[in-house]
Chains A and B, each alone.
Chain A
Amino acid sequence: MHEFAIDKLCQNSPFRDLPPLGKLILSLVLITSTLFASSPLVPLVVFFIGTALFFASTKFHAPRIYILAYLDALLVILVGALIIALLTPGGPIWNGSLGPVSLVITREGANLSILVFTRAVACFSVLLFFASSTSIPHLFIALRQVRLPAHLSELAVLVYRYAFLLLEQVELMVTAARCRLGFHDTRSSLRTMSTIAACVFGRSMDFAERAEYALYCRNFQGNFPLLNPPRKLTIWWLLFPTVIFIFMLFVASQTRVWMVI
């Protein structure tokens, strides 16, 4: 299943044991630096950094679901960029028509759409790196360092764990329903899916009750202790992204007037 593939990727990433907060800060810095750029150069640099980190994180074995997600996002971004190119006023560089609708792409629109496209693609590659190297439980536990209430982080860890179990249940129920012709037409598919959704809700209540018993059986004292907590944020993980951020700002300021068209 795809959700397991994603989780497996995090667990096997060579960057898994780096401080999750450090990775989060680095990712946020890279993403934010693209917003300060008015030319596509900085987003392109960020894109290459993000992509390189992503491939290193997956050891060049990215699962198909990642590639599909990437292509999916690329399609949405492309459509958005095209709309921006068509709607932004300025000096026309291309005229056309789509039936009764006349289409004009302006220089300003084209530049803006290229900028938006490169920003979005760059940010997505950075997000892919982060998602492939940091598991949700690690992230939430690390967030305790920045005073996230322990209850919230533990709740998130439990939700994450039980989400997989519920997904397994859904998969089983869908298979069982399919065996009994539950998806033979649109109407029955809708009815089956709604029944499954209601059933999963009931199961989740059942899970919660049994999980409570199990927690008490194992001497739960009100918090989740960890044998190997994720590494804590160090000063280097603040300095390193800061240097990158300053460098990106410098590049952005030097290429302010650098346009593709």
Chain B
Amino acid sequence: MPEEEILTVKNLSFSYDGKSLAISNITLGIPKGKKTVILGPNGAGKSTLFLHFNGVLRPDSGEVFYEGKKISYDASSLTYLRKNVALVLQNPDDQIFSATVEEDVAFGPLNLSLPREEVESRVEEALSWVGMENLRKRATQQLSFGQRKRVALAGALAMKPKVLIMDEPTAGLDYEMVHELLELSDELNYRGVTVVISTHDVETTYEWADEVRVLNSGNLVFSGKPEEFFEQGELLHDLGLMPPLAFQLNQQLHWRMGRPERPFPKNIVELSQKFFPVDIHGIGRIRVVCVDRAESLEAEKRSDGEPSPFHMRSGVYGAKARRRANEGRVDAHYRYHALDHGLLLASLGQDFVLYTDSSLYPLVEARVKALEEETGLHIELTRQ
């Protein structure tokens, strides 16, 4: 059964100057509830495609569909579309208009004529997602680039969109912020938001995306799963791309040792297990502590005492847990890649404490289960 597409373009062509085509007769779909990467070099037409998804640009020819309905460009349809499809532009300065952070985040919800209480609550929630709640009164021109990126993202999240599109979201960000952004995208996706990002980064594409669409000079050159794309050596060569390191190592393992290529390892845990398999029994466990449940934290305190012997083997996962760690209310060593570190340490026979929001527990469970299915590694998961 074909996947349901939330956004679709059919035979889309567009030119800015009426001569050269920025997008040339492309047909593609964005699957609902998935994480999709639009991969391509500069000038491939990624940003132009995004502006079509949001109804800012009208195609010269072809059609754009949202939830199966063709976009008509009247005011009420566009309002409906932009309420559900939020676009975060590459340069945050392009989309921050207001004098203060909270005013800027409120800009979209206020344009929807929502009641003040609802706007207030959305602003608070969106700022808390991106960890900017302490800077809500700050003037926008006094923010660093990373903070501006967060504000731009909060402005999109405040719309409570069904589809979140981010144009080159990781460009110009430091490692921590990139990781935080991708983890936040995972969390949003888990909560039902379809996430679409554009990037040139093959590593991010391979590790993060469920689906990939590859554009080159305004043409769609590939549509499918990331691992299927990286298997196409000739196409990669034509595009001047190198496969991700994990993919290449796995390929070498297959060629040199005759090990099966599938399932493709996508992260350090899967890769390690494939290269250096450990006994599937008698390994460590991951203890999940829910930061939004007071009794859960209390239980953790009682069992650990002070100082926590688990400090070097603990981490935070998700926006709420990270916020608690930043506030000093949770004593955790790993602020980034905590789940990967936890799985890695557990596979080495050590216990790990993972602080997260209780609503994210099923996501952690799904990750552990997926790892077991792919590698046979059984890691015990307990919840407090």
Chain A residues engaging chain B, CB cutoff 8 angstroms: 4, 7-8, 11, 135, 137-138, 157-158, 160-161, 164-165, 207, 210-211, 213-221, 224-228
Q: Are A217 and B56 in contact (CB under 8 A)?
A: yes
Number of residues on chain B facing chain A (CB within 8 A): 40
CA of A226 to CA of B139 in the docked complex: distance in angstroms? Answer: 14
CA of A214 to CA of B116 in the docked complex: distance in angstroms? Answer: 23
A227 with B119: in contact, given A11-B100, A165-B93, A213-B89 (CB under 8 Å)?
A: yes
Q: Are A215 and B97 in contact (CB under 8 A)?
A: yes
- 8 A-B pairs with CB atoms under 8 Å apart are A11-B142, A161-B99, A211-B97, A215-B97, A217-B87, A219-B111, A219-B112, A228-B102
Q: Are B108 and A219 in contact (CB under 8 A)?
A: yes
A137 with B94: in contact, given A8-B142, A214-B89, A218-B107 (CB under 8 Å)?
A: no
Q: Are A214 and B139 in contact (CB under 8 A)?
A: no
A227 with B103: in contact, given A218-B111, A219-B79 (CB under 8 Å)?
A: yes
Which chain A residues border B137 with CB–CB below 8 Å?
11
Contact check: which of A8, A135, A157, A211 meets B94 at CB < 8 Å? A211
Q: Are B99 and A157 in contact (CB under 8 A)?
A: yes
Nearest CB on A from B66, distance (A):
14
Which chain B residues border A218 with CB–CB below 8 Å?
82, 95, 107-108, 111, 155, 159
Q: Are B103 and A226 in contact (CB under 8 A)?
A: yes
Nearest CB on A from B27, distance (A):
23
Which chain A residues border B108 with CB–CB below 8 Å?
218-219
Per-residue interface assignment for chain B, residues 98 to 131, with 1 indicating a CB less than 8 Å from any chain A CB and 0 otherwise: 1110110011101110001001100100000000
The answer, yes or no, to whether B141 is at the interface (CB within 8 Å) is: yes
Nearest 4 CB-CB pairs, A to B? Answer: A225-B110, A214-B95, A227-B106, A219-B111
Per-residue interface assignment for chain B, residues 51 to 91, with 1 indicating a CB less than 8 Å from any chain A CB and 0 otherwise: 10011100000000000000000000011001100110101
Which chain B residues border A221 with CB–CB below 8 Å?
79, 111
Which chain A residues border B140 with CB–CB below 8 Å?
161
Q: Are B141 and A7 in contact (CB under 8 A)?
A: yes
A137 with B99: in contact, given A217-B54, A219-B108, A225-B110 (CB under 8 Å)?
A: yes
Per-residue interface assignment for chain B, residues 145 to 182, with 1 indicating a CB less than 8 Å from any chain A CB and 0 otherwise: 00000000001000100000000000000000000000
Which chain A residues border B95 with CB–CB below 8 Å?
211, 214, 217-218
Q: Are B94 and A214 in contact (CB under 8 A)?
A: yes
Q: Are B141 and A220 in contact (CB under 8 A)?
A: no
Nearest CB on A from B82, distance (A):
5
Q: Are B142 and A4 in contact (CB under 8 A)?
A: yes
Chain B residues engaging chain A, CB cutoff 8 angstroms: 51, 54-56, 78-79, 82-83, 86-87, 89, 91, 93-100, 102-103, 106-108, 110-112, 116, 119-120, 123, 137-142, 155, 159
CA of A158 to CA of B54 in the docked complex: distance in angstroms? Answer: 23
Which chain B residues border A228 with CB–CB below 8 Å?
102-103
Nearest CB on A from B146, distance (A):
15
CA of A213 to CA of B82 in the docked complex: distance in angstroms? Answer: 12
Nearest CB on B from A18, distance (A):
16
Which chain A residues border B110 with CB–CB below 8 Å?
225-227
Smallest Cβ-Cβ distance to A211: which chain B residue? B94
Nearest CB on A from B217, distance (A):
22
Q: Are A219 and B83 in contact (CB under 8 A)?
A: yes
Which chain A residues border B123 with CB–CB below 8 Å?
227
Nearest CB on B from A200, distance (A):
15
Q: Are A11 and B89 in contact (CB under 8 A)?
A: no
Most buried by B among A137, A158, A213, A218: A218
Nearest CB on A from B159, distance (A):
8
Q: Are B97 and A158 in contact (CB under 8 A)?
A: yes
CA of A157 to CA of B96 in the docked complex: distance in angstroms? Answer: 12
Contact check: which of A7, A135, A224 meets B97 at CB < 8 Å? A224
Which chain B residues border A137 with CB–CB below 8 Å?
98-99
Which chain A residues border B55 with CB–CB below 8 Å?
216
Smallest Cβ-Cβ distance to A207: which chain B residue? B94
- Beyond the given A4-B141, A214-B89, A226-B103, please list 12 additional residue pairs across the A-B interface where CB-CB is below 8 A: A11-B137, A11-B139, A161-B96, A161-B141, A165-B93, A211-B95, A214-B95, A217-B87, A218-B108, A221-B79, A225-B107, A225-B110
